[in-house]
Structure 1
Amino acid sequence: MSDIDEVFTKLGFGKMQFIILFSCFNLQIWMTNEQLGFGVVIAGASCEMRIHDRRLAWLMAASFAAQMVSCFLWGELADVYGRRRIIMISSIVANIVSILSACVPEFWGFLFLRSVGGFFIAASVVCLMTYLSEFTKISLRPRVLTIMSFSLGLSMIYVPCLAGFLLPLRMEPSSWRILLLCNQVPGIIGIIILIFLPESPKYYLSINNQEKAMQVMERICRMNKGKEVTLNSLGVESLTQPRLRQPSQKHGSCYETKVLLLNHAKIMWFFFIIFFSLSGLGFALPIWMLRVRVLTATFPDWDTICSHMDEVSPDSRGHLEVLLGIPAHSEPFLLPVSCSAT
Structure 2
Amino acid sequence: MVNKEVEDNIVCPSVINENQKCTTPDPGNVADFETAIAQTKFGTFNLILLLVAIPSVFASQFETASLSYAFPAAQCDLNLSLEDRGLVNAIIYTGMISSCFIWGSLVDVFGRRRILIITHLIDSVFVIMAAFAPNLSVLLVAKFFGGFVINGPSMALTPYLSEFHGTQYRSRVPLTLGLLYSVGNIFLPLLAWALLPLNININVFEGFELHAWNIFLLICTLPALTSGLFFLIIPESPKYLMSKGNNENALEIFQQIFKLNTRQDPEQYPVKKLKDDKQIYQQKYTLKEAWIQISPLFSLRYANKLLLVCLLEFFLMMGYCYMTLLTHVLHF
Scaled by the length of structure 2, the TM-score of the pair is 0.78
Letter in 1 for 2:328: L
What are the equivalent positions in structure 2 for 1:68-147 lying under 5 Å apart? 68-147=97-176
What are the equivalent positions in structure 2 for 1:173-252 lying under 5 Å apart? 173-230=210-267, 233-241=269-277, 252=289
* Deviation (angstroms), 1:28: 0.5
| Alignment RMSD (CA, Å) | 2.7
CA distance, structure 1, for counterparts of residue 65 and residue 320 of structure 2: 5
Q: Tell me which residue corresponds to 1:288.
A: 326
Aligned residues: 291
- Do 1:100 and 1:113's aligned partners in 2 also have CA atoms closer than 8 Å? yes
Letter in 1 for 2:263: G
In structure 2, relative to structure 1, the CA distance for the partners of 1:99 and 1:43 (3 Å cut) is same
Q: Deviations over 1:33-65 (max 9, x none)?
A: 111333212233222222223212321222211
What are the equivalent positions in structure 2 for 1:264-303 lying under 5 Å apart? 268-269=306-307, 271-281=309-319, 284-285=322-323, 288-293=326-331, 296=332
Letter in 2 for 1:234: P
Q: Tell me which residue corresponds to 1:301.
A: none
In structure 2, relative to structure 1, the CA distance for the partners of 1:111 and 1:170 (3 Å cut) is same
* Deviation (angstroms), 1:139: 2.0
CA distance, structure 1, for counterparts of residue 59 and residue 215 of structure 2: 15
In structure 2, relative to structure 1, the CA distance for the partners of 1:144 and 1:196 (3 Å cut) is same
* Deviation (angstroms), 1:264: 6.2
Letter in 2 for 1:208: G
Q: Tell me which residue corresponds to 1:148.
A: 177
* Deviation (angstroms), 1:104: 1.8
- Do 1:20 and 1:194's aligned partners in 2 also have CA atoms closer than 8 Å? no
- Do 2:117 and 2:232's aligned partners in 1 also have CA atoms closer than 8 Å? yes
Q: 2:70 aligns with which of 38, 41, 44?
A: 41
CA distance, structure 2, for counterparts of residue 168 and residue 5 of structure 1: 52
Please, which moves more after superposition, 78-87 or 185-194?
185-194
CA distance, structure 1, for counterparts of residue 280 and residue 293 of structure 2: 9
* Deviation (angstroms), 1:258: 4.1
Percent of pairs identical after alignment?
24
Letter in 1 for 2:84: R
CA distance, structure 1, for counterparts of residue 277 and residue 156 of structure 2: 19
In structure 2, relative to structure 1, the CA distance for the partners of 1:235 and 1:156 (3 Å cut) is closer
CA distance, structure 2, for counterparts of residue 104 and residue 253 of structure 1: 36
Letter in 1 for 2:251: M
Scaled by the length of structure 1, the TM-score of the pair is 0.76
In structure 2, relative to structure 1, the CA distance for the partners of 1:256 and 1:110 (3 Å cut) is closer
- Do 2:255 and 2:266's aligned partners in 1 also have CA atoms closer than 8 Å? no
CA distance, structure 2, for counterparts of residue 246 and residue 77 of structure 1: 11
In structure 2, relative to structure 1, the CA distance for the partners of 1:221 and 1:286 (3 Å cut) is closer
Q: Deviations over 1:141-199 (max 9, x none)?
A: 12122111112211111111121122222212211111112222233332232110001
* Deviation (angstroms), 1:208: 1.6
Structure 2 unaligned spans of 5+ = 1-29, 202-209
Q: Tell me which residue corresponds to 1:15.
A: 44
Structure 1 unaligned spans of 5+ = 297-342
Letter in 2 for 1:209: N
In structure 2, relative to structure 1, the CA distance for the partners of 1:120 and 1:143 (3 Å cut) is same
Q: Deviations over 1:194-232 (max 9, x none)?
A: 11000111111222222222222222122222342436x
- Do 1:42 and 1:286's aligned partners in 2 also have CA atoms closer than 8 Å? no
CA distance, structure 2, for counterparts of residue 129 and residue 137 of structure 1: 14
CA distance, structure 2, for counterparts of residue 273 and residue 141 of structure 1: 29
